[in-house]
Structure 1
Amino acid sequence: MKRRLSYGLSALVLALCAKVQADTFTLHSDDISDGEMMSKTFEFEGFGCNGDNLSPQLSWSGAPEGTEAYAVFAYDPDAPTGSGWWHWQLVNLPASTTELARGAGSTDGSGLPEGAMHVSNDYRIKGFGGACPPQGHGVHRYQFTVYALPKALDIPENASGALAGYMVNANALASSTIEALYKRD
């Protein structure tokens, strides 16, 4: 009985430490805010949308000890696909990177540090693809999440979004999300 109690207390302490560590990892943006509408600057250009297709500025701090790399994802869970829509999957940002400037998700990769890699999004482009919900479909949520990773991921250059998502989620030490909103009338 004592041994089970001891294991239980140890597990509780570890879980609380992980939560405290995760709570100190924060994501900030000068361009988007949690629960607020995004501007047309972050709307896709194509598929009937005519925005600027720029990725928002993002910065983060408080990464847990052992962080050696980051991943940044943008996802719309409200897309009428049955599986949501991946707008951006960026992996293998070095641990020294704690900010991405507005437009860093361009397909030419010019705003990225060495070693970082775009995974093809659901528009079938390697880079950021802005919001483009169906006209009249109402408000969609856009979840911008940064993940702290213990190492750069070993994934092929032509990895699917599902593979990238699996590898990031299986290895994440912590994550932080801003959920911005967008709609087209």
Structure 2
Amino acid sequence: MIKPYGPYDFMPEISTFSVTSESLADGGRLAREQVSGILGAGGMDVSPQLSWSGFPEGTRSFTVAMFDPDVPTASGFWHWAVADLPASVTELPAGAGDGRDLPSPAKTLANDAGHRGYLGPATPPGNGPDRYFLVVHAVGLDELGVSASSTPAAMDFLLFSHAIARATMYGTFERA
């Protein structure tokens, strides 16, 4: 059963803009290539393509993250986090989660498994379907103030004060 709320429903409201994907329909099932191979779910850990538009003037950078609030932990699970994407970047191609071709000063943070890059879903059997929120934040600073050793949760904490708008979509995955 899909939960009726999202992880940002309890945060202060900020402006919204649009995020879309050529490789994932909002609310749709993540493709096999987007699922984790590293964690044994049979996928390839390829991040989905993302595009965003309609963000407010004053946007100086973006963050991109993927978060699973439904995993059986009290804190959820961060699968991917990128900070400090320049405001001129409004799209990431499929596979950008490997972090190799991101423009400076963008930083890919280690996910909750300690892997620096996109880590696809590997929902524990019997837990799903889990939702995997892909979230782009428009930030009013050129650099958010995270380092390569910062956690995605620390990045999210800084966004509480510096995000000026948010775009969200999600995909689902369930392991039989």
TM over 0.5: yes
| Aligned twin of 1:39 | 31
**Of 112, 116, 123, which aligns to 1:122?**
112
Residue 35 (structure 1) shift: 1.6
Q: Segments of 4+ in structure 1 off by > 4 A? A: none
1:181 and 2:172 matched: yes
Q: For 1:112-160, what per-residue CA distance to the aligned partner results, in whole angstroms no more than 9, with x for missing partners?
A: 1121101110110111111110023220000000000011112222112
| Higher Cα radius of gyration | 1
Give yes or no for the alignment of 1:143 onto 2:133. yes
Q: Residues 36-185 of structure 1 correspond to what in structure 2 (within 5 A)? A: 36-106=28-98, 109-151=99-141, 152-185=143-176
Amino acid at match of 2:19: L
How many residue pairs end up in the alignment? 163
After TM superposition, the structure 1 stretch with the greater mean CA deviation from structure 2, 30-39 or 58-67, is 30-39
Q: Secondary structure at the match of 1:175?
A: strand
Q: Is the 8 A contact 2:35 2:45 kept in 1?
A: yes
1:81 to partner: Cα distance: 1.2
Greater helix percent: which structure? 1
- Pairwise CA RMSD: 1.4
- The Cα offsets for residues 75-117 of structure 1, whole Å up to 9 and x where unpaired, read as 00000111110001100000000000000011xx223112110
What is the CA–CA distance in structure 1 between the aligned matches of 2:64 and 2:162, rounded to whole Å?
Answer: 14
CA distance in 2, matches of 1:38, 1:61: 22
How far has the Cα of 1:48 moved from its partner? 2.5
User: What is the TM-score of this pair, normalised by structure 2?
Assistant: 0.88
Note the residue ranges of structure 2 that are not aligned, 5 or more in a row. Answer: 1-12
Q: Quote the offset at 1:170 in angstroms.
A: 2.0
1:22 aligns with 2:15: yes
Indicate the percent of aligned positions where both proteins have the same amino acid.
Answer: 37
